[in-house]
Each structure stands twice: as C-alpha cells, then as structure tokens.
C-alpha cells in the first residue's frame, strides 16, 4: 500500500557533488551540492543547483565555469564540511586540508585529493525558485590513474563515491552489483 | 596522478529514473533515464533528460506531466527493459508485467510495483542538444507504507534503489553507511 507524503525532494540515490569555483578575487572555493546530475549526452553536460545566497552562486555568475569533484568514501568529512561552511567567511580549501589546482580546461580549480573531476563551462542557467540550476558543458573528465580500467575509464568500485539519502540525511557508498545495463532487459530476467 | 579522459558523461552515482507518461492516445508508457536528479528545494523540482526520438518525448510535450518511479534492486530487469524497448512498438507495461495506476496529482500514470514515486508537472524545458531537459515540479511523493520510518519518510535501506555506473554500464545498489550529513562537517572527522 502506498502512502502520500506531499511535495518533497526525496529521490534515491542523490549524488554528492563538490562544486569548485574561483570567486571575483581569484580565491578558490568549493561547496557540496546534492541537487544535480548528468543532463545531456552530446554535448556532454552536467547540472548543479545552487542557492542565490551562496558564495558559489556569485562565482558561477562571474566566471561561468566550475568543476564537479566526486569524493570517495574516505572524504565524507571534507564533503560535509564544504556543505555547511561558507567561502564568504573562511578559506574552505585550507580548513578542509584540500589542494586547489587550476584546471587546464576551464576557469575553475579542482580538488587534487578527490578521485573523479568534471571540468565544466556554464551553458544554460535557469532560476527555478530557491535554487538556480547551472548546466555545464563537460569539457574534460579527469580521474585518478590508479582507479581506472585499462587506463581508459574510472571504475565505480575503485572510486567508491559518496551517496546522499535526502530523507535520513545520511551518506552511503555503493554496494552489491545487481546486473549489466542494456543487456538484462534484452535477455532473461536477472535472478 | 590524474589522467585526462576527454569530454565524457561520467558521474558516480547516477540514478535509475523510470519516467512514466500517457501518450496522445492515453496509453501508459515508461522509459528508464539515468540523466536527471533533484534540482530545486522550493518549489521541489526534479529534472529528467529525454532524447527527441523517444516516445516519452512526445508524451511529455503533449501532457506536460510525468512520474519518476524508483525501482528497488529486485526490479533491475524491468528497469533495464524499459530503457531498451520503445513504447512506439509495444505495450511496455504489459511486457514488463507492471501495473500503471493513474496519478491523482498529475496527468500521468505511476508504477504500482515500484516503492518510491514522484508525481510531477513540467515547469521548464531546455533543449540542450541530444537530450531535452524536463524540469518537473514535484506535486506529491508516494512511497510503500512498509518502507517508511514512523509512517513519515521512506528509508533508503528499505527501498534499496538501483544505481547506474555510466563507465561500466553496471547497476548497483547502496552499501555501507558512511556518516550523517550536516553534522560530520561541523564536528570531528569521521573515522
């Protein structure tokens, strides 16, 4: 039996996206967002949503560039800290013990310690209410060489990304492999 | 050491979103999308991206409504099937053995067998290239009563949602709990 819960932002899974930018003074900053995801295959695009009061909002409007940095399960504290503190008040990179490296592809820094990075140029902005959505064209993806298969694609089992559950507010990582996409549905049922 | 991989749609995790609609003839249809996620807190909004060639694209343009249905790990075959088959050619609900129920909140059906449903009205459309992004205001969330805490919020540990890994193309579900959001970052490092 289903129960109606009203208008809420509950979706499983949501990602843990650390959005890194340079502000007007060229200071590197990063904030954690759970509202976002891939939104187009060609050109490859990702979207992140940011509140207007955020320091990152001003930086995104000014620089029109950001990186999405995916924390592994060993960086839950850093990811959470970057979500609760503000770059208006402090140097979040220093406080979190993280290293900002200038992207060679876009006008934004990335986080050296995180295993998977998407380097993006803002191509579409939509004011949706409390949040503004920034669609970024992915100009390059970089990943830790040690976490790839055949030096080609990063492996989720190596990255072990954080996953956010909006209802409980807990972080998880991935678990059991269930099946192969674009094949299970063509063949017999998974057991 | 980081390696550059070029412009690709790699992000971990991506969700498995089954988008259900009525077409022009009132036939219920559903397709699986991994490109999407929550994009605004107030009004609560979710986004899903769909290719123009999809039957669902025409239905979304006509009805301006959809539901997002989250499959649990026991529905990987159905989710994958709904991603590879087309509603132009067959009755996907019948073929997948799923039940379409008319939403009481929006002009779209939902999938009775799936544990978490978001009922949405299209409020913003953006043509991004290969995919068009449909932002939907979430008018109601419904969940299986047996999978909630205190009859109030669905639990990710009960839902056990599918998770898609774009690089390998595998499905996973959630695993280990890592910590609590909006608290870890304020206190000491997680161990």
What is the pLDDT, as a whole number, of residue B88?
84
Please indicate if any CB of chain B lies within 8 Å of the CB of A106. no
Q: How far is CA A131 from CA A47, A93, B107, in A?
A: 12, 24, 26
Tell me the three-class secondary structure of A164-181, residue by residue.
Answer: EECCCCEEEEEEEEEEEC
Mutate which: B15, B31, B32, B37, vs A, most A CBs within 10 A: B37
What residue of B is the nearest CA neighbor of A152? B5
pLDDT of residue A175 exceeding 60, the answer is yes
**Average model confidence (pLDDT) across chain B:** 93
Bigger pLDDT: A150 vs B62: B62
Tell me the three-class secondary structure of chain B, residue by residue.
Answer: CEEEEECCCCCCCEECEEEEEECCCCCEEEEEECCEEEEECCCCEEEEEEECCCHHHHHHHHHCEEEEEECEHHHHHHHHHHHHCCCCCCCHHHHHCCCEEECCCCCCEEECCCCEEEEEEEEEEEECCCEEEEEEEEEEEEEEHHHEECCCEECHHHHCECEEECCCCEEEEEEEEEEECCCCCCCCCCC
User: How far is the C-alpha of A92 from the C-alpha of A20, rounded, in Å?
Assistant: 11
What is the pLDDT, as a whole number, of residue A184?
60
Please indicate if any CB of chain A lies within 8 Å of the CB of B97. no
DSSP letter, residue A189: P
What is the pLDDT, as a whole number, of residue B189?
53
Q: Phi, psi at residue B178, to the nearest 5°?
A: -105, -30
What is the pLDDT, as a whole number, of residue A86?
86
Q: Do B5 and A140 touch (CB under 8 A)?
A: yes
Distance from CA of A10 to the nearest CA of B (A): 8
Whether residue B156 contacts residue A11, with contact meaning beta carbons closer than 8 Å, is answered with no
At B74-116, the pLDDT tens digits run 999 999 999 998 888 889 999 999 999 999 999 999 999 999 9
pLDDT confidence band for A152 (50 / 70 / 90): confident
Residues of A (27-66) whose Cβ lies below 8 Å from B: 34-47, 49
What is the pLDDT, as a whole number, of residue B85?
87
User: How far is the C-alpha of A99 from the C-alpha of A92, rounded, in Å?
Assistant: 10
Q: Name A187's Cβ contacts closer than 8 Å, sequence gap at least 6.
A: none
- Report the candidate in A13, A145, A106, A99 with the shortest Cα–Cα distance to residue B4: A145
At A27-39, the pLDDT tens digits run 999 999 999 999 9
pLDDT confidence band for B58 (50 / 70 / 90): very high
pLDDT confidence band for B184 (50 / 70 / 90): low
User: How far is the C-alpha of A143 from the C-alpha of A151, rounded, in Å?
Assistant: 10
In angstroms, the first-to-last Cα distance of chain A is 25
**Average model confidence (pLDDT) across chain A:** 93
Please indicate if any CB of chain A lies within 8 Å of the CB of B125. no
pLDDT confidence band for A115 (50 / 70 / 90): very high
Helix (H, G, I), strand (E, B) or coil at A158: helix
For the segment A140-163, the average pLDDT, to the nearest whole number, is 92
Whether residue A144 contacts residue B140, with contact meaning beta carbons closer than 8 Å, is answered with no
User: How far is the C-alpha of B26 from the C-alpha of A31, rounded, in Å?
Assistant: 44
This complex has an ipTM of 0.95
Residue B4: how many CB atoms within 10 A of its CB? Answer: 12
For the segment A117-124, the average pLDDT, to the nearest whole number, is 98
What is the pLDDT, as a whole number, of residue A190?
47
Please indicate if any CB of chain A lies within 8 Å of the CB of B155. yes
What is the pLDDT, as a whole number, of residue B65?
98
Whether residue A45 contacts residue A36, with contact meaning beta carbons closer than 8 Å, is answered with no
Can you name the residues that pair with B191 across neighbouring β-strands? none
For the segment B20-30, the average pLDDT, to the nearest whole number, is 96
Q: Which two tokens stand for residue B22?
A: 């009525």
Q: Do B163 and A174 touch (CB under 8 A)?
A: yes
Q: Name A29's Cβ contacts closer than 8 Å, sequence gap at least 6.
A: A20, A21, A22, A23, A55, A56, A59, A87, A92, A93
What is the pLDDT, as a whole number, of residue B188?
52
């Amino acid at each position: 039996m289903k129960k109606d819960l009203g208008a809420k932002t509950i979706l499983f899974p949501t990602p843990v996206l650390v959005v890194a930018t340079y502000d007007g003074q060229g200071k590197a900053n990063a904030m954690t967002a759970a509202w976002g995801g891939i939104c187009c295959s060609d050109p490859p695009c990702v979207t992140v949503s940011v509140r207007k009061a955020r320091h990152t909002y001003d930086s995104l409007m000014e620089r029109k560039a950001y990186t999405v940095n995916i924390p592994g399960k060993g960086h839950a504290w850093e990811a959470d800290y970057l979500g609760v503190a503000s770059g208006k008040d402090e140097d979040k990179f220093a406080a979190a013990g993280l290293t900002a490296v200038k992207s060679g592809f876009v006008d934004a820094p990335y986080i050296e310690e995180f295993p998977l990075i998407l380097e993006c140029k803002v191509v579409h902005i939509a004011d949706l209410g409390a949040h503004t959505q920034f669609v970024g064209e992915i100009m390059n993806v970089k990943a830790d060489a040690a976490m790839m298969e055949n030096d080609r694609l990063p492996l989720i089992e190596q990255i072990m990304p954080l996953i956010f559950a909006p209802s409980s507010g807990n972080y998880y990582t991935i678990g059991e492999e269930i099946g192969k996409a674009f094949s299970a549905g063509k063949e017999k049922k998974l057991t």
